[in-house]
Amino acid sequence: MFSPWISPQNPFDAAALDLNAAFKPPAWLDGGDRAFLLGSDNQGRDILSTIMHGARISLGIGLASVAFAMVLGVTLGLLAGYVGGRLDAFIMRVADVQLSFPAILIALLIDGVARVALGGERHEEIVIPVLVLSIGFAGWVQYARTVRGSTMVEREKEYVQAARVIGRRPLAIMAAHVLPNVIGPVLVIATIHIATAIITEATLSFLGVGVPATQPSLGTLIRVGNEFLYSGEWWITVFPGVALVVLVISVNLLGDWLRDALNPKLR
């Protein structure tokens, strides 16, 4: 997140780039340069710096799209589970239909529609929000299903009935009573989903509909580096890959810790 201030080089400032410094191997190998700790890529960009910037974009898109999917999915799941009846049937049928399409396809569709609707020029500016919305929208179903299931269980418990006797409104009961008791599994899904979202974003970038090359994410870096893997410049793709793995593991550990911290029974 703080990469603009701590990275050795700004990899997106064309003036700072030197094509003579392209394809430098990592510093500890023959021909390495202290200035490029993890080597440089085909345009002379420092890999460490691009990883730092790329991780920032990947994480940002991942977190934002998961947050969007979570809010949408949890809201619909709570409503479906608590209100039941026709609303439940309607929401779950929409979810079923959406589940029969791959997430990538839905994200592609939304992204494509936004591209056509907004025209090429403005698209550049809003590409990241559009990506967030499309990846997020592709992932709300599993939140809705999980929350709906546990809400139907919680709704019948006596503490919910006690709140009804006390006179709380249904929306207040959903938000104050049911939500804290169904959110645990959601957080676990969310941590796994962040990794999936980052990968979805990388795939979209690979297909040419993701983030533009001027501000590449980790996924874009891996894909770009892939082209040079067989000509011996392995560091261009391996280090972003390692960074992605570390990022995903960190996110998962954080999610575990978060779940334990939020459960009063384990405290």
Partner 1 sequence: MHLLSVDSVSRDFDVSSPWLNRVLEREPRRILRAVDHVSFEISKGETLALVGESGCGKSTVARLIAGLYAPTEGHIAFSGRRLQMIFQDPYASLNPRWRVRKIIAEPMLFLEEQKPVEQFLLQVGLSADDAERYPHEFSGGQRQRISIARALAGEPDLLICDEPTSALDVSVQAQILNLMADLQDRLGLTYLFISHNLAVVSLIADRVGVMYLGRIVELAPASRLFSSPRHPYTRMLLDAVPDLAMSGKSRTPVAGEVPNPLAPPSGCSFHPRCRYATARCQVEVPRFSDGVACHAVEEGRLPT
- Residues binding partner 1 (CB under 8 A): 157-159, 161-168, 177, 180-181, 264-265
Cα four-point dihedral sign 173, 174, 178, 179: negative
Element (H, E) at 21: none
| Distance in Å, CB of 84 to partner 1, minimum | 13
| Distance in Å, CB of 261 to partner 1, minimum | 13
| Distance in Å, CB of 245 to partner 1, minimum | 34
2 phi/psi in degrees, rounded to 5: -100, 15
Kindly tell me which of 56 and 177 has the beta carbon lying closer to partner 1.
177
| Distance in Å, CB of 80 to partner 1, minimum | 17
Which one-letter amino acid corresponds to residue 38?
Answer: L
Secondary structure letter of residue 31 according to DSSP? T
Cite the DSSP H helix spans in 207-234.
218-226
| Distance in Å, CB of 139 to partner 1, minimum | 26
Kindly tell me which of 162 and 242 has the beta carbon lying closer to partner 1.
162
Cβ-based neighbour number of residue 93 at 10 Å: 10
Kindly tell me which of 226 and 263 has the beta carbon lying closer to partner 1.
263
| Distance in Å, CB of 158 to partner 1, minimum | 4
Structure token digits, residue 139: 């992932």
Q: Classify the phi-psi angles of 32: left when phi > 0, otherwise alpha if psi is within -120 to 50, otherwise beta.
A: beta
Kindly tell me which of 34 and 267 has the beta carbon lying closer to partner 1.
267
| Distance in Å, CB of 205 to partner 1, minimum | 40
State how far the Cα of 129 lies from the Cα of 138, in Å rounded to an integer: 14
State how far the Cα of 34 lies from the Cα of 218, in Å rounded to an integer: 23
State how far the Cα of 157 lies from the Cα of 183, in Å rounded to an integer: 16
Kindly tell me which of 162 and 213 has the beta carbon lying closer to partner 1.
162
Going through the chain in order, the beta strands assigned E by DSSP cover: none
Kindly tell me which of 30 and 158 has the beta carbon lying closer to partner 1.
158
Kindly tell me which of 93 and 122 has the beta carbon lying closer to partner 1.
93
Structure token digits, residue 204: 């979209």
Q: Is there a contact between 5 and 47 (Cβ–Cβ < 8 Å)?
A: no
